[in-house]
Amino acid sequence: MNTLKTAFLLTALTLLLVLLGEHFGGRNGMVLAFLLAAGMNFVSYFFSDRLALAMYRAQPVTREQLPRVFAVVEHMTQRIGLPMPKIYVIPSDSPNAFATGRNPQHASVAVTHGILNLLNDEELAGVLAHELGHVKNRDILTSSIAATLAGAVTMLARMGYWASLFGGYGGGGRDRERGGGGLGALAMLILAPIAALLVQMAVSRSREYEADATGAKITGNPYALASALEKLDAYSKRLPMDASPSTAHLFIVAPVISARDLGNLFSTHPPIAKRIERLIGRPSLYGNPRQ
């Protein structure tokens, strides 16, 4: 069922991209959009992990440099039968973490300096188990491809809109017959990115719930992960991370992004209170929900 859902969502995004191409450029636009989608999928599959790590200046670390993390991750990967991922540290005081990679054999787990200073050992183990849950469930690649295609849909809608304003509109009179013209292009500019972001959000939100459940099962301690989520939610708001909307879905808690970004309108993460409630049966560890 998880594989079918993934295939459906990614197909929906690809079709939306192709339909946008047809709307703005006719048959040639449709072919170009399909090639763009294929290229984006290729880049996402092979290079999304490197791009994400480079974007946040993540540095690889050795066992000697970070024994606390290596010991926990090694124990858990041996227990659940996963290869040992590469470990990275992000030079940021904002507490957060993410996993990336196209499959368990090419996985990486990145943590910020802030999360290492904030969480105790049990809470850190809960976070690392959550990230290994993403790896085990093989959903990191899906989120990366969804984000890339959503970005492509947004870009294509904007290009089509500006082309229509300056007379480069490929649909010609056919679009005016549809009641479109400049207004039709403007509607596509607004609605297409919203549709793409909604699909990306559906992918990411379901994955977060699943990774929480998997992480709690790996450690056998859902309360530690719930405590970590409460701390991360509070402290990440005090110390915002300079994050891109295109990669916000990767992190265990949503980074606080500038209000100028459209991505702020569509959270890729479920509310922390709901995640905690699924873990321990109530929306806050201490009976004082923040959301």
Q: Please list the active-site residues.
A: 131
Asked if 104 and 125 count as a contact pair (C-beta separation under 8 A), the reply is no
What's the helix, strand, coil split of the chain in %, to 5? 65, 5, 25
Residue that has been written with the tokens 């010609």 in this structure: 172
Residue 166 CB contacts under 8 Å (≥ 6 apart), including other chains: none
Closest CA to 228 of 97, 135, 107: 97
Burial class of 234 by CB neighbour count within 10 A (0 to 12, 13 to 18, 19+): middle
CA 165 to CA 266: how far, in whole Å? 28
CA 269 to CA 264: how far, in whole Å? 11
Query: Residue 289 corresponds to which tokens in the numbers above?
Result: 């929900």
DSSP symbol at 85: P
Total length of the chain: 291
Asked if 110 and 51 count as a contact pair (C-beta separation under 8 A), the reply is no
